[in-house]
Amino acid sequence: MQQIFSTADHSSRDGFKRWQDLLDEQLTPIEVKRLNDSPFQAEFAACALGPFPIFRLRQGALLSETNAAGLRRHARPDTVMVILKQHGEATSVQDGRESVQRAGDILLLDRRPSVVTTHTDSQALFIEVPRERLENALGSTRRYTSLTVGAPLASTQMATSFIQNLVQLNPQLAADSAIRMASIAVDLIAASIAERLAQEVPGPLHGTVAVQQAKAYIETHIGDCTLDPPTLAAAVGLSLRRLQELFAERGRNVSDYIWFRRLETAAKRLTDPGCAHLSIGAVAQSCGFADQAHFSRRFKALHGMTPGEYRASLTVRAR
């Protein structure tokens, strides 16, 4: 990562003012207050993981507040911030939910008013992710903003270790590889949030969370051609009949939904510059289709044109 700022290069008073301006510019319009009189120390580093900006912040005891007026000035309202806590402790409040984060935890904050309090020697990675990517798998972010996704969860450990390794190896990755790895990272984040949501869920909400967990599993296993309703049911700990009932209650068929997500993912990859080198067959295989002819038939039935025609038509428009 490239270091953008360090208070070691500034006086204490000037350093804090520059820190406020930097957070306002790089993250979101924010009000920052110091919580003690000790010399202020902070560092800010940044890089891009494929299409996703990522920042590393180290700072002392601060209270950081975002409000509606500031958020209206934000340039990227369709994104959310995923936070991977690396050192220290923090307290977060958003959407009426308050939680504590420690090293190894994951947290999500949306572009709504929030308050975050950090303590001495706090460090975290901030990943800016399109809201749609998470809501497609998990539903509205209001269900899991300021919800600590704890380090003890196996899925959390997988997500954090993958992302931290990806940050270290990022300079060595080709652009198209970085895009694919970043997409995997977001899928791992979604899977860890889904596992956390499945814990201690009130009875009436359990069905909704189970469906969200199933959708997250589909997204992270979209390339597995063996993924089918029985496999999915076993993966989320439900009987096939119960999984089918839950999807039917929401106007969906499990098998149809799996095929729909395969086709939608394929459509995105066909128009993704990072996947331009992939043949139609390779795209089909990466989305779980074992047979290219089957893929072409299903794709044309949904989009009204073959995969090749779809890719060509959007390429022409882009010119």
Amino acid at 298: R
Residue 315 has pLDDT above 70, yes or no: no
Residue 39 has pLDDT above 90, yes or no: no
Lowest mean pLDDT among 194-203, 236-245, 267-276: 194-203
Lowest mean pLDDT among 22-31, 48-57, 105-114, 146-155: 22-31
Q: How confident is the model at residue 70 (pLDDT cuts 50, 70, 90)?
A: confident
Can you list the domains of the chain with their CATH numbers?
Answer: 2-201 (2.60.120.10), 256-318 (1.10.10.60)
3-state helix, strand, coil in the chain (%, to 5): 50, 20, 30
**Two structure tokens written together for 303:** 């989009």
pLDDT higher at 203 or 162: 162
Which residue blocks in the chain are alpha helix, DSSP H?
Answer: 12-26, 68-71, 131-138, 154-169, 175-197, 203-220, 229-235, 240-249, 254-270, 280-286, 292-303, 307-318
Q: How confident is the model at residue 54 (pLDDT cuts 50, 70, 90)?
A: very high
Q: What distance lies between CA 175 and its chain's CA centroid?
A: 19
| Cα dihedral 297/302/305/306 (nearest 10) | -40
Highest mean pLDDT among 1-15, 68-82, 159-173, 302-316: 159-173
Residue 203 has pLDDT above 60, yes or no: no
Residue 241 has pLDDT above 70, yes or no: yes
pTM above 0.75, yes or no: no
Q: Helix, strand or coil for residue 61?
A: coil
pLDDT at residue number 148:
95
Sign of CA dihedral 211, 212, 213, 218: positive
How do 42-49 and 2-6 pair as beta strands?
antiparallel
Using CB atoms within 10 Å of the CB of residue 25, give its burial: 0 to 12 exposed, 13 to 18 middle, 19+ buried: exposed
pLDDT at residue number 15:
86
Residue 45 has pLDDT above 90, yes or no: yes
Separation of alpha carbons 96 and 126, rounded Å: 22
Residue 256 has pLDDT above 60, yes or no: yes
Residue 105 sits at φ, ψ, to 5 deg, of: -80, 160
pLDDT at residue number 316:
54
Residue 288 has pLDDT above 90, yes or no: yes
Q: How confident is the model at residue 317 (pLDDT cuts 50, 70, 90)?
A: low
Which residues make Cβ contacts (< 8 Å) with residue 91, sequence separation at least 6? Answer: 98, 99, 100, 101, 116, 117
Separation of alpha carbons 244 and 285, rounded Å: 26
Q: How confident is the model at residue 313 (pLDDT cuts 50, 70, 90)?
A: confident
pLDDT at residue number 38:
85
Mean pLDDT across 33-45: 90
Using CB atoms within 10 Å of the CB of residue 132, give its burial: 0 to 12 exposed, 13 to 18 middle, 19+ buried: exposed
Mean pLDDT across 277-301: 94
Q: How confident is the model at residue 209 (pLDDT cuts 50, 70, 90)?
A: confident
CA angle 266, 272, 274 (to 5 degrees): 115
Q: How confident is the model over 127-166, as pLDDT tens digits?
A: 999 999 999 888 889 989 999 999 999 999 999 999 999 9
pLDDT higher at 119 or 47: 47
Q: How confident is the model over 167-183, as pLDDT tens digits?
A: 999 999 998 899 999 99
Mean pLDDT across 219-242: 92
- pLDDT above 90 as % of the chain: 68
Q: Helix, strand or coil for residue 252?
A: coil
pLDDT at residue number 170:
92
Mean pLDDT across 78-99: 94
Separation of alpha carbons 59 and 120, rounded Å: 7
Residue 237 has pLDDT above 90, yes or no: no
Residue 43 sits at φ, ψ, to 5 deg, of: -140, 145
